[in-house]
């Protein structure tokens, strides 16, 4: 008995990790050993629950009928560098672009005491702007080539302005799951304080407070003293959460594959990939993240599984299944007996790692179409 969804012969074991070390134009790397080796699982093929798993009752539906089932596509990803590093580079690049753009737009002003004049002089004289350029050049350029997947992903979502916020790579695992519980909510917040105002906001607040005090004092004897104030947009809706719910039946066979093995392995895989893995005293690689897309409903370039629950339905028996095991620095399948119910009731919630922007609704990612097992974005 062997695994069906995980290719154990192609899976690898990570015994050390490379760390980027700033210090020269071409960054060097050093390798840090893992005290506990980390498995890097490889897929056998595309995991298509809609077509190939037992999740509905009755006779097997035709391929054309199953193609019409609402579905969610998942592309699994893992971080290449920590959010600390990617976030720092993201801000540094954004700052560099903003300052450089302004300097190029307005040129060197005649008045050397003006703000732009000072910035230009600082940049030319090896000051903070020059250091900023050097930092981004030495550290950022070394991983620019590693950003290709993320750049393409964000461009497809019309979110080019977020390039570099996460640095990821695909793990090779791709899923199609049934999706019936569509829901769309919009929650934005407007308030009296404009967080982007900075010092200007403080001056306005001081003036407003003075006017309020005078107005309320003058009208103190009148009922219903109230001054209408403008509201400011605070933030886009925080990362949205979408929940998938579907059953997996262990007593109905849809193909030559054993549904008991299929279903257990799928749930084992999702659970394993979404737990942190301790590799040393100071290193704990985080769970995987996902690109989640439901054509015409929503698309999240970066999301994580915020909750997953698996309930047992019907009679439970002990049955043999095969799972990957790590032994002597290699991965191989091993057969074990585990509790298997007649059916699983599965609920998985995905929460976006970035705010919900309208950009995605006019992007190729939102107009994804399906042709068989092929996902087509935009007009491709």
- Tens of pLDDT, residue by residue over 56-102, are 988 888 888 988 888 899 999 999 877 877 777 777 667 666 666 55
As beta bridge partners, residue 325 has 332
Q: How many Å apart are CA 127 and CA 280, to the nearest integer?
A: 39
Q: Percent of the chain, pLDDT > 90?
A: 40
Query: Range of 155's domain?
Result: 81-166
User: What's residue 109's pLDDT?
Assistant: 47
| Assigned token pair, 159 | 């979110």
Q: How many Å apart are CA 188 and CA 183, to the nearest integer?
A: 17
Residues 14-26: pLDDT tens digits? 999 877 655 545 5
> Are residues 247 and 133 both part of a single domain?
no
Please answer whether residues 177 and 246 qualify as being in contact, where contact means their C-beta atoms are separated by less than 8 angstroms. Answer: yes
| 330-352 and 241-249 beta bridge pairing | antiparallel
pLDDT level of residue 111 (50, 70, 90 thresholds) = very low
> Are residues 6 and 94 both part of a single domain?
no
In a domain, 90, yes or no: yes
User: What's residue 291's pLDDT?
Assistant: 93
Query: Which DSSP symbol is given to 43?
Result: B
In a domain, 147, yes or no: yes
As beta bridge partners, residue 178 has 71
Q: How many Å apart are CA 163 and CA 157, to the nearest integer?
A: 11
Burial category of 148 from C-beta neighbours within 10 Å (exposed 0-12, middle 13-18, buried 19 and up): exposed
> Are residues 73 and 87 both part of a single domain?
no
Residue 192 has φ and ψ, to the nearest 5°, of: -85, -15
Task: Indicate the helix (H) or strand (E) that contains 198.
Answer: helix 198-218
Please answer whether residues 335 and 287 qualify as being in contact, where contact means their C-beta atoms are separated by less than 8 angstroms. Answer: no
Does residue 376 have a pLDDT over 70?
Answer: no
If we measure between CA atoms, which residue out of 285, 355, 351 comes closest to residue 81?
285
Claim: this prediction has a pTM higher than 0.85: no
As beta bridge partners, residue 17 has 32
> Are residues 246 and 362 both part of a single domain?
yes
Residue 279 has φ and ψ, to the nearest 5°, of: -115, -25
Task: Considering only the C-alpha atoms of the chain, give the largest distance between any 2 of them, rounded to a whole number of Å.
Answer: 87
Q: Enumerate long-range contacts of 279-284, CB under 8 Å, 24 or more apart.
A: 279/14, 279/17, 279/34, 279/35, 279/36, 279/37, 279/38, 280/32, 280/33, 280/34, 280/35, 280/36, 281/35, 283/17, 283/32, 283/34
In a domain, 175, yes or no: no
Please answer whether residues 168 and 83 qualify as being in contact, where contact means their C-beta atoms are separated by less than 8 angstroms. Answer: no
User: What's residue 115's pLDDT?
Assistant: 44
Residue 131 has φ and ψ, to the nearest 5°, of: -65, -40
Q: Percent of the chain, pLDDT > 70?
A: 65
User: What's residue 259's pLDDT?
Assistant: 95
> Are residues 246 and 360 both part of a single domain?
yes
> Are residues 35 and 86 both part of a single domain?
no
In a domain, 70, yes or no: yes
Nearest 5°: the CA angle 294, 296, 300 is 45
Residue 6 CB partners (closer than 8 Å, separation 6+): 41, 42, 43, 44, 265, 269, 324
Does residue 337 have a pLDDT over 60?
Answer: yes
Q: Number of folded domains in the chain? A: 2
Domain termination site, one of 166, 193, 225: 166
Please answer whether residues 102 and 116 qualify as being in contact, where contact means their C-beta atoms are separated by less than 8 angstroms. Answer: yes
In a domain, 231, yes or no: no
As a whole number, mean pLDDT of residues 228-256 equals 80
In a domain, 202, yes or no: no
| Assigned token pair, 221 | 């004897």
In a domain, 186, yes or no: no
| Least confident window among 50-54, 98-102, 352-356 | 98-102
> Are residues 161 and 263 both part of a single domain?
no
| Least confident window among 24-38, 57-71, 163-177 | 24-38
Domain termination site, one of 166, 198, 224: 166
> Are residues 47 and 119 both part of a single domain?
no
Domain termination site, one of 140, 166, 192: 166
User: What's residue 113's pLDDT?
Assistant: 42
Q: How far is CA 180 from CA 176, 177, 210, 299, 301, in A?
A: 13, 10, 55, 16, 21
> Are residues 378 and 245 both part of a single domain?
yes
> Are residues 72 and 91 both part of a single domain?
no
Task: Indicate the helix (H) or strand (E) that contains 89.
Answer: helix 83-106
| Assigned token pair, 253 | 């066979």
Please answer whether residues 248 and 53 qualify as being in contact, where contact means their C-beta atoms are separated by less than 8 angstroms. Answer: yes
pLDDT level of residue 157 (50, 70, 90 thresholds) = very high
| Assigned token pair, 254 | 């849809």
As beta bridge partners, residue 307 has 349
Choose between 2 and 335: higher pLDDT: 335
Does residue 360 have a pLDDT over 70?
Answer: yes
Distance of CA 349 to the CA centre of its chain: 13
> Are residues 369 and 246 both part of a single domain?
yes
> Are residues 269 and 313 both part of a single domain?
yes
Q: What is the residue-wise DSSP string for 214-236? A: HHHHHTTTSSS-------EEEEP
| Assigned token pair, 213 | 């005090």
Does residue 150 have a pLDDT over 80?
Answer: yes
């Amino acid at each position: 008995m062997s695994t069906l969804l995980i290719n154990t012969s192609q899976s690898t074991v990570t015994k050390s990790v490379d760390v980027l070390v700033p210090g020269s134009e071409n960054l060097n790397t050093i390798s840090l050993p893992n005290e506990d080796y980390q498995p890097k699982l490889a897929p056998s093929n595309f995991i298509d629950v809609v077509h190939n798993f037992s999740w509905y009752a009755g006779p097997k539906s035709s391929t054309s009928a199953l193609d019409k089932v609402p579905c969610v596509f998942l592309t699994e990803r893992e971080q290449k560098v920590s959010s600390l590093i990617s976030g720092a580079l993201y801000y540094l690049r954004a700052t560099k672009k903003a300052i450089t753009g302004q300097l190029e737009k307005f040129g060197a002003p005649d008045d050397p005491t003006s703000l732009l004049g000072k910035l230009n002089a600082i940049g030319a004289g090896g000051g903070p702007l020059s250091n900023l350029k050097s930092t981004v050049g030495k550290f950022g350029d070394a991983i620019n080539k590693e950003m290709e997947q993320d750049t393409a992903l964000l461009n497809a979502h019309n979110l080019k302005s977020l390039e570099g916020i996460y640095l990821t790579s695909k793990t090779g695992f791709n899923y199609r799951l049934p999706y019936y519980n569509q829901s769309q909510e919009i929650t934005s917040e407007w308030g009296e304080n404009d967080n982007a105002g900075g010092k200007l906001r403080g001056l306005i607040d001081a003036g407003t407070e003075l006017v309020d005090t005078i107005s309320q004092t003058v009208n103190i004897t009148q009922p219903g003293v109230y001054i209408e104030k403008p509201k400011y947009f605070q933030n886009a809706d925080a990362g949205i959460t979408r929940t998938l719910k579907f059953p997996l039946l262990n007593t109905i066979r849809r193909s030559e594959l054993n549904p008991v093995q299929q279903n257990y392995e799928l749930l084992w895989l999702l659970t394993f990939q979404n737990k942190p893995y301790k590799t040393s005293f100071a290193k704990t690689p985080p769970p995987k993240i996902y690109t989640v897309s439901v054509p015409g409903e929503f698309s999240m370039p970066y999301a994580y599984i915020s909750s997953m629950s698996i309930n047992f339905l019907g009679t439970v028996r002990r049955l043999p299944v095969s799972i990957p095991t790590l032994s002597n620095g290699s991965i191989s399948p091993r057969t074990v007996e585990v509790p298997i119910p007649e059916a699983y009731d599965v609920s998985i919630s995905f929460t976006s790692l970035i705010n919900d922007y309208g950009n995605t609704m006019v992007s190729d990612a939102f107009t994804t179409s399906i042709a068989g097992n092929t996902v087509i974005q935009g007009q491709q």
